[in-house]
């Protein structure tokens, strides 16, 4: 085992650790934050980087073999699809009348929806 292999191994493990820490924080946020919209913040943003970190770790471990390339593809698709999923969940929740939490200071979307329903 030469120096490059060892350093790749260490980097791969570091990426795995970073990814797992962020996934853990995302789940912690899911439990701790008050309402749907705030929870979506943690699951989309942190979920993306967490999964991306794990995928990068796979790439560094196996190199550009079929598994590594597929891992990168999965990471890129996550980057593209997780915001769309968040947008759909958020909009559906708002249309079903899920209120914002007590601490919320402003809701301009509510006003726009009310204006549209009146017309």
Partner 1 sequence: MKRYISYAVILGLVWCFVHGTISFNNFVLGLIFAPFIIRPFKPLYNFKQDFSFGRAIKKIPAQARYFYVLIKEIIKANIIVAKIVLQPKINIKPGIIAVPIRTVTDLGITAIANTITLTPGTLTIDISDDRSVLYVHCIDASDPEAVARSIRNDLERYVLEAFE
What letter would DSSP give residue 103? T
Residue number with CB closer to partner 1 (7 or 91): 91
Helix or strand run (H / E) with residue 60: helix 47-62
- Count of CB atoms situated within 10 Å of the CB of 34: 12
Residue 17 makes contact with partner 1 by CB under 8 A: no
CB 53, min distance to partner 1, A: 10
Rounded-to-integer distance, Cα 108 and Cα 12, Å = 45
Which residue among 15, 46, 55, 60 contacts partner 1 (CB under 8 A)? 46
Q: How far is CA 75 from CA 4, 55, 71, 78, 102, in A?
A: 24, 6, 6, 5, 35
CB 119, min distance to partner 1, A: 11
Residue 73 makes contact with partner 1 by CB under 8 A: yes
Positions in the binding site for partner 1 (CB under 8 A): 22, 25-26, 28-29, 32-35, 37-38, 40-42, 44-46, 48-49, 64-67, 69-70, 72-73, 79-80, 82-84, 86-87, 90-91, 94, 100-101, 103-110, 112, 116
């Amino acid at each position: 085992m030469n120096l490059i292999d060892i350093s790749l191994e260490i980097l791969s493990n570091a990426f795995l650790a970073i990814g797992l820490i962020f996934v853990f924080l995302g789940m912690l946020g899911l439990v701790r934050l008050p309402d749907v919209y705030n929870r979506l913040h943690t699951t989309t943003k942190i979920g993306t980087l967490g999964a991306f970190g794990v995928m990068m770790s796979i790439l560094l471990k196996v190199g550009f073999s079929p598994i590594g390339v597929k891992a990168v593809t999965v990471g890129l698709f996550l980057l593209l699809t997780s915001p769309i999923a968040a947008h759909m969940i958020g909009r559906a929740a708002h249309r079903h009348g899920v209120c914002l939490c007590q601490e919320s200071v402003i809701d301009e979307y509510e006003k726009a929806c009310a204006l549209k329903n009146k017309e």
